[in-house]
Structure 1
Amino acid sequence: MTTVGSLSPSTGASGAGELLQLMLDGTPRTRAELIRLTGLARSTVGARVDALLSAGLLAPSGEAASTGGRPPAQLAFNPDAGVVIGADLGATHALVALTDLRGRVVAEKAFEIDISTGPEVVLDRVARTGRALLSGAGRRRDELVGVGIGLPGPVEHSTGRPVLPPIMPGWDNYDVPAHIGNALGAPVLVDNDVNLMALGEHATMYRDVEQMIFVKVATGIGAGIISGGRLHRGAQGAAGDLGHVAALHGGSTPCTCGNVGCLEAVASGPAVVRALRERGIDAGDTRGLVQLAKSGDLAAASAVRDAGREIGHVLATCVSLLNPSVIAVGGLLAQAAESLLAGVREVVYGRSLPLATGELQIVASRTAGHAGVIGAATMVIQHVLSAEQVEAQLSAAAAG
C-alpha cells in the first residue's frame, strides 16, 4: 500500500495534526492500518494517536474483523469533540445554528433583522442567540471551537471586516470578529454570505464536484465560486459579485451601489416587485412575489422568469469563463424555482457553447435554506481542524 506523502517522519506526538487529516473522511481504522497507510514507525503512530485520543479528536469505534486472536480496536474521528456556531445574516433575516465538527446542524434559531440598524444591534442578537443554542444543547462555552458568520456584502476575509457594503450602513470596516469574539469567547471567521452558501452547498451536496457556482437571488444577487474543489474569493474577496455586473436590459435603472443598469437593479427580488407594482400588481415584498408565482399568478411567474433570463445572460458569460459542472441557485427568490430556473436555463443553454453545457446542471439549491450556516460552520471547521491548527492546539494543551 502506498504511503501518504504529506506525513512527515518526525517522532513523538508532533505530526498528530497531519495524521488527523487521514481520519477526517470518517472511516474507522486500526493503528496497524494507520502504520501501513503512513509508512511511519509504530511508536510514532502510537504517540500521534494517543495525542488525538487525549484531545477527544479520535474515539474508539468498535473492532475490526479478527484474523486470529483478539480483534484489533478501530478508531474514528469524533465529530462531538466540539461545536461550532454558524450565522447567516441577510438584509432582513438571520439564521444561527449550532453544529458538530462535521457541520451537522444540531440546533438552530431563525429571526427577522434589519441589517441597516448597524452592527452592534445585529451582532448582539447573534451572540445572545448563540449562547441560548449552546445552553439548550447542553454544551459548555469551552466546547465552542469557533464562530463563522456570513454577511450580505463584500468582506475582507483576512480581517473579517465588511468593505463598503452597499446595503449595510454603519458596517464599513467594523471589527466583526472582535465584537463576536468578545461576546462568545471563541475565534471568529467572517465571509460574504454567498461565498459561505457555495461552501455549504458544496460540502453537503456536491463534495465530489470540482467546478461549481452558487447563485443567491434575494434582496441582492451574488455568486460563490468553487474552483478546483475550493472556494475562490479573488484577490480582495470580491469574486462573484454578479449583482453589479451590467445587465443586458439594465438601461439607466439606478442601483444601490451608485451605478446604473446593474443586474441587481433589474433582477433581484425587490426589483421584480417594483416592476410589477408599476404594472398595477402589488406583491408587497419578495416573499409575496414568491407566493404569487407559486400560486399560478401568470404576471408574477412571467416577471420572475424575465429576471431569470437577465441572470442567465450574466451566467452565460460565467459558464464560458469558468466551465462549471453545477450552477445551484438559492436565496429567497429562488423559492419560485420553476419560473426563475426556466429563465436562467433558457438563456444559458441557448447562449453557451455545447461543450460547456453538455453536462452542466442548473438546479435549485438542495440545502433547504441551510447552505449559509453550514458553509459558515464548514469554514470554521476547515480552519480549526487543519494540521497546523491541531498542532497548535495540542502544543498549547501540553504546555498548559
Structure 2
Amino acid sequence: MSANKSSARSWWVFIGCCVLSLVGFGLIVNTPGLYFTTLGEVLNVSRTQIALATSIMAFAALPAMLVAGKVMKLVDARILISVCVIGVAALFFIQSFFNAVWQFYVSFALMGILYVIPITLAPSVLLANWFEAKLGTVMGIALGLSGIGGTIFNPVVSWFITNLGWQNSYRITAVILLVCILPFSLFVFKFRPDESKGEYAYGHVETKTEESGKGDVELPGMAAKQAFRTPTFFLFAAVSVLLQIVAAVVQHISSHEIAQGLTLEQGALVVSGIMLGAAVGKASIGILLDYLKPELAIVIYSLIGLSGWGLMAVATTPTPAIAAGFMAGIGQGVVLVALPWFIRQSFGQRDYSEILSIVGMLGGIASAIAVTAHGAVFDATGSYVPSLFGNVALYVVAAICMVIGFRMRPFKAIAKSGK
C-alpha cells in the first residue's frame, strides 16, 4: 500500500539551509571586499595585492569541488559541515591578528577549500535528499537568500569596520557564523532520511519494494561514472560554463556604466539591481519549477535574462540601466537554482552530490577565466558592449542545451524500468 510520508525534520533542514545561504554565503562570499581599502592602508600594499586573496580563495575551491561531492556521501554531514564551519570561523578570527599580506593569501586558500561543502554544495544536496515534493520551491527560497544575505551583511560589516575596527569585525564575523550555523550543522543536517527510523523526505511515497525491504533500499538514480558519459551531463556542463561566463561580467558592470556616462554611484545601483534581481529570480524560478513545465520556466527566465543584458548594452541613463540589471539578475536563477534542480531530476539521488560538484567546478573554472576575458574584451575594443551582447547569445545557446539535456535525461528511463 502506498502512503504519503513526510518528515518534520525536512523542514528543519530547509530552515538550516536558509541560514547557510543567508549567513554563511552572506558573510563568507559577499563581504571580503569590504576590507580591501583598510587592509591596503594597514599593510601598505596595493588594492590589487590584497584583492588577490579572494582570487586565491576562488581557485582553491576548484580542486576541493572535485572530491567534495564524494566526501559528503562518506562522512556524517553533521560532523563534516560543522568542522568546515568551525574552520572558516577560526580563519576569520585568526585573520584579525595578521600583519602581512602573505598571511591572508594562506588563510583565504584554506577558506576556499573549507567553504565549498557547507556553502556551495550542502544547501542543494541536503534539500534534494530531504524533499521529493516542492523541491524547486524550497531550493529557490533557500538559495535565493544568499543575495539577501549580501544585502544585509554588507552595510553591517561596513559599520563594524568603521566603528569597531577591522580586527574586531573579523572576530565578530567568526562568532556570528558559529552561533547561527552550528546549531543546525550539529543537530539537524543528516545527509538523508533514515527510513529504518521512520524518517522520510517530504512528499515521499512508499512503494511495495520499500515496504518489503525497509532500511536496505538503494537510492534511486545513476552512478556518477555512468552519468558522466551521458549527453545530458555534457549539455548541463555546457550550461554551467556558458552561464558562468555570463555572470562573470557582473564584476565589470560599474566600469561599464561609467563608460556609458553614468556616475560611480549610479553604476553601484545597477549592480544592486542585479543582486536584488538574482534573489527574486532564484526564489521565483524554484517555485515555478514545481508548477510549470520545466522547459517553459527555462525559456521564460532565459528570455528575461538575455533581455536584461541586451538592454544594459544600450542603456545610457540610470533608470533603464537599473531595470536592465534587475532583469539580468532574474535570469541568474537559471544557473543557480534551475540547473541543480534539473541535475537532480535527470540523474536521481544516488550520486547527486558528486555530479553537482563536478558541474559546479567546471562553471567555477569558466567564471575565473571569464572575469579576465571580459577585461581583455574591453582592452581590445574600448567597450564592454561586445561582452554584453555576447551574453545574449550565450543565454540562447544555454537554454537550448538545457531543454535538450532535460528531454534526454537518463533517469527517466531508469525510473520506468524500475532500476
Query: The TM-score by the shorter chain falls in which range?
Result: under 0.3
TM-score when scaled to structure 2?
0.25
Structure number with the higher helix fraction is 2
Higher CA-based Rg: 1
TM-score under structure 1 length normalisation: 0.26
Return the structure number with greater strand share: 1
